[in-house]
Amino acid sequence: FLSAAEMWIPLELIAAARSSQANLEWDPEFHHRDHGEHGEKRDVLSDRNSSVASVSSAVNLFVGADIGRKHDRTQIWIDERIADVAICRGLITLDRTPFEQQFQVLSDVIAHPRVRRASIDQTGIGMALVERLQEKFGMKVEGVTFTADAKERMSLLVRRRFEERLDKIPENSPLIERD
């Protein structure tokens, strides 16, 4: 484990990104309504300044997936984008899951009518999955090769988004904070 001083995204930024609006459990029935603190449905989103803005009826979901099999888990992250704010709508973890099952899970997620784009790790063992998903979903699926440069660009982007309070992650999610 890293000390707080060694972490790329400081604990303070992680704490600031926690939001009751974010979900760890993916709900395939997800639609444009958010749930309030007491379960009531509402059509609002607290923006980065904690004011309230109306949510449009058009929901755009974006998927990112890092593919693993034996040593690393496959992680599928689903975000809702409202303007420039990304709210986690689910994290699916597949541990030692056969590739055919991974293909089916990814297919089910990408087939959701609100998913606009899926960026998926095509490095090494992910290549065959990406090829099959591109055959099925076309340009909706983007393969990402995890080179050192690509990893650096992604890590800088994620940190900047956290610094600008543009990402909302679920509260009390040690799994996310650990990774």
Question: Tens digits of per-residue pLDDT, 35-79?
Answer: 444 333 444 344 434 333 334 446 899 999 999 988 889 999 999
Q: What is residue 69's predicted lDDT score, i.e. its pLDDT?
A: 86
Is pTM beyond 0.85 here?
no
In terms of Cβ atoms closer than 10 Å to its own Cβ (0-12, 13-18, 19+), residue 65 is: buried
Q: Which of 40, 5, 13 lies closest to 177 in space, CA to CA?
A: 13
Confidence at residue 40, expressed as pLDDT on a 0 to 100 scale: 39
Please, where are the H alpha helices in 45-85? none
Q: What is the mean pLDDT of the chain?
A: 83
pLDDT at residue 30 is higher than 70: yes
How does residue 112 score in pLDDT terms, banded at 50, 70 and 90? very high
Residue 31 binned pLDDT confidence (cut-offs 50, 70, 90) = low
102, pLDDT greater than 80: yes
Tell me how far apart the alpha carbons of residues 7 and 1 are, in angstroms, rounded to a whole number: 9
